[in-house]
Amino acid sequence: YVPNELRAGMMSLSLVPANAGILYVLIQ
């Protein structure tokens, strides 16, 4: 069982590289 706070933190940490990659592609 994963607490909601930890799950949200893990999701946000995993989404940061994806968002950075999308922004990088859009900027190009």
Provide the residue type at 13 as one letter: L
pLDDT at 27: 93
pLDDT tens across 9-21, in order? Answer: 887 877 788 888 8
pLDDT at 26: 92
* DSSP structural state of residue 22: H
Q: Does residue 2 have a pLDDT over 80? A: no
Q: Which domain holds residue 3?
A: 1-28
Q: Say what the pTM is.
A: 0.42
Query: Per the structure, how many domains does the chain have?
Result: 1
Closest to 11 measured CA to CA, from 1, 24, 23, 2: 2
Closest to 12 measured CA to CA, from 4, 25, 26: 4
In degrees and rounded to multiples of 5, residue 3 shows phi and psi of -60, 150
Provide the residue type at 28 as one letter: Q
